[in-house]
């Protein structure tokens, strides 16, 4: 997913791992926030999400990673990676 994301191909990045792609903007903000406070001494506002949001994302990530992307019927076949699928 990161290979396609770095190349700017969002469709293939989503195809390889949609659940991880959803987390990228939040991880980038956390990295910028950390770098700003550690290196520049400036504190950006914290991202405030309800604890339910973190739990819901964790459950969705696990469900997608283990079950949904392996289902053999449409629309889930779109997530199959051609060179890894027998």
What length does the chain have?
86
Spatial distance between the Cα atoms of 54 and 29, rounded to a whole number of angstroms: 16
The answer to whether the CB of 53 falls within 8 A of the CB of 61 is no
**Joined tokens for residue 22:** 């959803």
For the stretch 5-55, pLDDT in tens is 999 999 989 888 889 999 999 999 999 999 888 888 778 888 888 999 999
Residue 83's pLDDT band (cuts 50, 70, 90): low
The answer to whether the CB of 40 falls within 8 A of the CB of 21 is no
In this structure, the number of other CB atoms found within 10 A of the CB of residue 16 comes to 19
């Amino acid at each position: 997913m990161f290979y396609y994301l770095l190349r700017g191909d969002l469709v293939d990045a989503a195809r390889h791992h949609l659940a991880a792609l959803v987390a990228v903007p939040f991880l980038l903000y956390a990295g910028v926030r950390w770098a700003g406070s550690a290196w520049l001494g400036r504190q950006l506002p914290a991202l405030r999400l309800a604890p339910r949001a973190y739990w819901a994302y964790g459950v969705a990530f696990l469900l997608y990673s283990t079950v949904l992307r392996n289902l053999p019927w449409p629309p889930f076949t779109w997530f199959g990676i051609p060179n890894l699928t027998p």
